[in-house]
Amino acid sequence: MWSSSTYTLDGTAWTKRVLGIGTAAPSPRAYVSLSYDANRKVVVLFGGSDKDTAYDETWEWNGSAWKNIGPDTAPDPREGAASVYDVKRLQTVMFGGLNQRRHLHQRDLTWNGTAWTQGHLTTTRPAAPTSAWSTTRCASGP
């Protein structure tokens, strides 16, 4: 069963957030790309899929409500892309994911809170189904 529920973690316990009737929220889906934009203090959600559709939507969660950003140019629909927040460049970086034909995307994209743009990788790298980020590693450099 697909769910569009939103949960938050306070460091110890998960809490289901109750959104008002008619409140905007992403449709039920799996395999989304999620990252936390520490500068703007929002969670960025891109894409994902349900049983029939891969999505190209960009949503942001500010801690109390979802907002469909709907930029002028969105990346191709995809599921399972990895994303992280780059604290040096102050933007979200997304890589990989599968399109609806199950082909692997091999380019990186960046989100600055307003627009998606092609990233700057000079070589292709294998995409990962999940991601992790270390602020210690990022702060001290590669």
CATH at 39: 2.120.10.80
Q: Per-residue pLDDT averaged across 70-91, rounded?
A: 88
Q: Is residue 19 part of a domain?
A: no
Q: Is residue 58 part of a domain?
A: yes
Q: Is residue 92 part of a domain?
A: yes
> What's the CA gap between 142 and 34, in Å, rounded?
22
Q: Is residue 2 part of a domain?
A: no
Q: Each residue of 116-142: pLDDT tens digit?
A: 998 776 555 555 444 444 444 444 344
Q: Is residue 91 part of a domain?
A: yes
Q: Per-residue pLDDT averaged across 71-87, rounded?
A: 87
User: What percent of the chain is modeled with pLDDT above 70?
Assistant: 81
What is residue 66's predicted lDDT score, i.e. its pLDDT? 93
Q: Is residue 52 part of a domain?
A: yes
Q: Is residue 34 part of a domain?
A: yes
Q: How many domains does the chain have?
A: 1
What is residue 91's predicted lDDT score, i.e. its pLDDT? 93
By CB atoms closer than 10 A (0-12, 13-18, 19+), residue 12 is: exposed
What is residue 122's predicted lDDT score, i.e. its pLDDT? 57
Lowest-pLDDT choice from 29-38, 106-115, 131-140 = 131-140
Mean pLDDT of the chain: 81
What is residue 72's predicted lDDT score, i.e. its pLDDT? 80
Owning domain of residue 120: 28-134
Q: Is the pTM of this model over 0.75?
A: yes
First to last CA, the chain: 41
Q: Is residue 11 part of a domain?
A: no
- Pair 109, 93: CB distance under 8 Å: yes
By CB atoms closer than 10 A (0-12, 13-18, 19+), residue 108 is: buried
What is residue 75's predicted lDDT score, i.e. its pLDDT? 86
